[in-house]
Amino acid sequence: MNKKLTDDLYQIVRIVEGTDPEKKFDLELIKPYLNEYIRVREVAKNDYIIREEDRIKKVYYIIRGMYDMRRTSLKGQVKVLAKRRAPQFIGIDKAVNRNLQGDFGSIALEKCTILEIHQDYFVECVKANGDLAIKVIQNLSDKLVKTSLDVDQLTFKDCKGQLLFYIYQYWSENRTDQGVCRINEKNSYTADNVGVSIRTFYRVRNELEEEGFISVNRGYIEVNESQIQKIRRYL
């Protein structure tokens, strides 16, 4: 494989990571580096990026949007494992170990722009380009840190602490200059994320409102700066 082809992916990653993730991405910026091994795909909000039963045969590079990673139990209960915002890779582990099976699904929480990358091509690019390899390692390291925090949340915190931790993470990823951050998702989805029943969620949410950690407006959880400071002290 010639150097131009193996350098294309690095140039795309460099451009994506060098642009403001809050702004609409101009695909014309990476068009010169697209090739037969890289395909652009748009995924609408609430559509699957990958399904649990899919056998992953590509590496997915999410260049814009937010998505979740989820697993469904034999009883049909959905557990949201994590939420991630672009830019992120999915499927690196399957690219380097083809014996691994797909064990989670992923749904777009907002419109996502994705690059589908041929597995063999991805591996060759990482082998050939040290700068790309470092960026891939950084991406994996970021995931490991977030996963470690999620494990801490499940292991060391009660339901109250888990919900506060989730609210704090949501605020960190979605805060604006408006002063108040609303968790714009269904309560059942938040309960799944935290790993509690909807009944437990409502009980804990009401307790947090009474204690001044949060506000509830038309059924949605909201937090302001002073409440975030209070949550920080608790956590």
Burial of 9 (0-12, 13-18, 19+ CB in 10 A): buried
Give the sheet arrangement for strand 38-43, strand by strand.
Answer: 38-43, 112-118, 58-64, 88-90
Q: How many CB atoms lie within 10 A of CB 117?
A: 22
> According to the model, what pLDDT value does residue 151 have?
63
Residue of 216 and 5 predicted with greater confidence? 216
As a whole number, the mean pLDDT across the chain is 87
- Pick from 159, 142, 154: nearest CA to 198: 159
pLDDT at 210: 95
Confidence of residue 10 (pLDDT cuts 50, 70, 90): very high
CATH architecture of 157-234: Orthogonal Bundle (1.10)
Residue 178's pLDDT is 75
User: What residue ranges do the domains of the chain occupy?
Assistant: 3-154, 157-234
Q: Provide mean pLDDT across the span 179-207.
A: 90
Residue 193 contacts residue 80 (beta carbons within 8 Å):
yes
pLDDT in tens, 213-222: 999 999 999 9
Query: Mean pLDDT, to the nearest integer, of 182-204?
Result: 89
Mean pLDDT computed over 174-187: 84
CATH H-level superfamily of 3-154: Jelly Rolls (2.60.120.10)
Q: What angle do CA 166, 168, 173 make, to 5 degrees?
A: 95
- Residues 177-203, mean pLDDT to the nearest whole number: 88
Mean pLDDT of the 128-144 span: 87
**Contact assessment for residue 213 and residue 234, using Cβ atoms and an 8 Å cutoff:** yes
3 state SS for 72-140: ECCCCCEEEEEEEECCEEECHHHHHCCCCCCCCEEEECCCEEEEEEEHHHHHHHHHHCHHHHHHHHHHH
Considering the chain, what percentage of its residues have pLDDT values greater than 90? 51
Note the pLDDT of residue 1: 74
Q: Is the pLDDT of residue 177 over 80?
A: no
Greater pLDDT, 1 or 93? 93
Q: Could you give the CA distance from residue 203 to residue 118 in angstroms, rounded to a whole number?
A: 47
